[in-house]
Structures are given as C-alpha cells and as structure tokens.
Structure 1
Amino acid sequence: MKIYVAGLPGSGKTTQTEKLGKYLNLPVAQMGVILRKIAVEDGEKGEMMKQVMSTGQLLSDEEVAQIMGDEVSGEEYKDGFVMEGFPRTEKQVELFNPDFDKVIYLEVSEDALVKRLLGRGRMDDSEEAIKKRMEVQKAGFEQVLGCYRDKLVKIDGEQSVDKVFESIVAHLKDES
C-alpha cells in the first residue's frame, strides 16, 4: 500500500506519517527528513540546502522529484510506503507519481499552523520562513489534492495527535 499524508507545514503530517508507518509496518519517506539530512552534509550540496531552508525557499520541482524518486527506488520501499512532503505541486505529480492508494489530508487552520510551527524550534522555522513556505505551498496544494480527488480523505488535524491517528486508522479500516 502506498499512502501520502498531506498537509501544510505544522499540520502534523510528519507525526502521523511516522505513526502510520509503524502501525502498517511500512517504511516512511519524508521529504523534510531527507532534505534536513542533506543540509547537515559537508560541502556545497549541504551549504546550498542550508541556505534554501533557512530562507524558506523551495527547491525546483525537478530537484524534489529526483530526490524523492531516488529515495523510494530502494528495495525497502517495493512493498509500499507512507510518504509525506511530496508532491506539493501539480508538476511534481507529473514528474514523479508514486500512484498512491490513499491520500490523507490533514486540515488545520492557518492560526493553528503558525502557532505550532513557532513552537518547534527548527532551524527553518523563523516567522518569516514560515510565512513564505505557507504562501508558496498554498498556491499549488489545491491542484495536487485535485490530482488525487478519488483517493482523498480529509481529516480534522486540529484534534489531539491520538485522535487524528484514530481518525486515519478508522478510515483506512472502513476502506478495506
């Protein structure tokens, strides 16, 4: 099974992806984790990634699709996975579409998102970077969700972490 957990920054998609991966015994492919690993590498690639992340910029669709495609081409992903952080644009869907079985969208208000993000303390979470990421991601996100309309499940992401997870699992059980 291939599942995409989607949501804007701060929606809880990383937490839910990890919980779902453990629950379903599937590997997780998290774009943010992959990019942060690159950012701590020595050399030009690591420095470039640090700069991109600290200013809230996004990589090109081609770069992101290549990074995620490389990640999930490994043997551990052949039987399925839980993915988050990709795709974020319609072009990314066109460049690399893992043919998800289910797309779970965590709905959270903008006020709640900003509050959550400021509380995480990550290097890429300055208020300016948060606002820029949200603005850029909102622009293409509705189109991405439209690409998966027939596989889309919307979950109230403002519930507690456990309640959100219970809602996801209940929906997956209803579908099987």
Structure 2
Amino acid sequence: MRIVLLGAPGSGKGTQAQKLISEYGIPQISTGDLLRAAVSSGSELGQKAKAAMDAGQLVSDEIVLGMIEERLQEDDAQKGFILDGFPRNLSQAASLDELLAKTEQPLQGALLIDVDYDVLMKRLTGRLSCKNCGAVFNRYTSPPKVENTCDKCGNELYHRADDNEETIGKRLKTYEDETSPLIGYFQDKGLLLSVQGVGDIDEITNAVKAELQKIA
C-alpha cells in the first residue's frame, strides 16, 4: 500500500499514521524525520540540507526528493509506505509522481483527514503538554483530571507560546493556500480518499481502514 497523508495541522494525521504502521506493517516516511536523520548522519544530501538550513533557507525540493528516493529503496518500504509532509504543493506533487514512476512505486491513494477550521483551532490553541513526560492534553477536548496537572506523572502542564490564535491562524492559512489544492489534484487522478477526522480515535481509524479497503 503506497499512500500520501493529507490534512491540516491538528487534523490527527500523526495519530492515524501510527495506527496504520501497526495495522499494515509499512513505514511512515516523514520528510521532517528524513531531514533530521540525513543531517545527523552527515550524508551528502544531509550536508546540502544543513548548509541550506544554516543559511536560513528552505531545503530545496531536489534535496528532499533525493532523500525520499533513498528511503524508498530500503527493505521496509518495499511492501509500501505512508508519505507524510510531502508533497506540500502542486509542483512537489508533480515531481513526486515523476520520482515514483521512475522507482516503479506509484501512489495508490491520497488519504485526506478532513477537519473543520473551528475544530482545528480549538485543538491547536487548547493543547497542553507535560514538562516531565511529554504527555499531551487539550483543555477543550481532552482535559486533565486536575487542572494543569499531568494525569500520568503528576507534573505541571504548560501551554506552548506558539499555540496562540494568531500563529495557528497563519499556519492554517498557509495550509489552505499551498496544500489544499492537492485535494483537487489527487481527486482528478482518481486517488483521493477522505474521512472526517472528528470523534473517537478508534472510530476514525475504522473509517480510514474502510477507505483503504478500496485500494487494498
């Protein structure tokens, strides 16, 4: 199974990706993880990426595609993959299609986790994290039993400074402007699958699996 995950920040892509890894035994390929690993390893692509980041520049699509190509050659990706974080725009989608055609691993689907703007804003602005164990809560949707106290370890919870309406509004606007056109792109190619990312996590997972049955 070879799929791309689509969805705005806060849509629950990461949670569902972990469920899919467990269910189907295929890796999640996150471009953020690839960049960190390449920089850490000091590979040729990693050195190029580090030079760009050190200069305050975006890492070029060419470098990211090179990292994806290398990752797809590893043994665990031969049965399929879940691509997360790429493509982010139409130009990247076209380049990805070319790469996957070359490696004979074409996409079978693009799975959209669809969530309304107001729900995304609540999820992201209400996020609380534990300073000690890293557990995450939400003051609106999944509050701790005791205010500002972690259910798991009893330590203090904090609200990240960048989890405010202005910053999150900008992130969602960027997604809307750059990434949401991909929905139409994949729909036109007959690859779009979609679920509502609201409600019980396991129910969403079941809806995701039902959609993926269409391409299994």
- TM-score, length-normalised on structure 1? 0.77
Larger Rg: 2
Structure 1 counterpart of 2:15 = 15
Aligned pairs for 1:75-114 (under 5 A) are: 75-97=75-97, 98=100, 99-114=106-121
| Alignment partners' CA distance in 2, 1:40 and 1:28 | 19
| Alignment partners' CA distance in 2, 1:82 and 1:124 | 31
**Which is further off, 26-35 or 3-12?**
26-35
Structure 1 residues 159 and 129: alpha-carbon distance in aligned structure 2, compared to 1, 3 A threshold: same
Structure 2 counterpart of 1:45 = 50
The Cα offsets for residues 8-41 of structure 1, whole Å up to 9 and x where unpaired, read as 1110111111111210111111234445667889
Structure 2 counterpart of 1:117 = 124
The residue type equivalent to 2:93 in the other structure is V
Structure 1 counterpart of 2:146 = none
The Cα offsets for residues 22-68 of structure 1, whole Å up to 9 and x where unpaired, read as 1011111123444566788999929938x78xxxxx65544443443
- 1:144 is paired with a residue whose SS is helix
Q: Are the counterparts in 1 of residues 109 and 215 from structure 2 also a CA contact under 8 Å?
A: no
| Alignment partners' CA distance in 2, 1:125 and 1:136 | 16
Q: Are the counterparts in 2 of residues 39 and 47 from structure 1 also a CA contact under 8 Å?
A: no
- 2:20 is paired with a residue whose SS is helix
User: Greater helix share, 1 or 2?
Assistant: 1
Of 168, 173, 178, the residue aligned with 1:135 is 173
Structure 1 counterpart of 2:26 = 26
Q: Are the counterparts in 2 of residues 38 and 46 from structure 1 also a CA contact under 8 Å?
A: no
Q: Are the counterparts in 1 of residues 194 and 211 from structure 2 also a CA contact under 8 Å?
A: no
Relative contact order higher in (CA < 8 Å, ≥ 6 apart): 1
| CA drift at 1:148 | 1.4
- 2:213 is paired with a residue whose SS is helix
| CA drift at 1:174 | 4.8
Structure 1 residues 120 and 100: alpha-carbon distance in aligned structure 2, compared to 1, 3 A threshold: farther
Q: Are the counterparts in 1 of residues 52 and 59 from structure 2 also a CA contact under 8 Å?
A: no
Any unmatched runs of 5+ in structure 2?
Answer: 101-105, 135-159
- 1:76 is paired with a residue whose SS is helix
Structure 1 residues 145 and 23: alpha-carbon distance in aligned structure 2, compared to 1, 3 A threshold: same
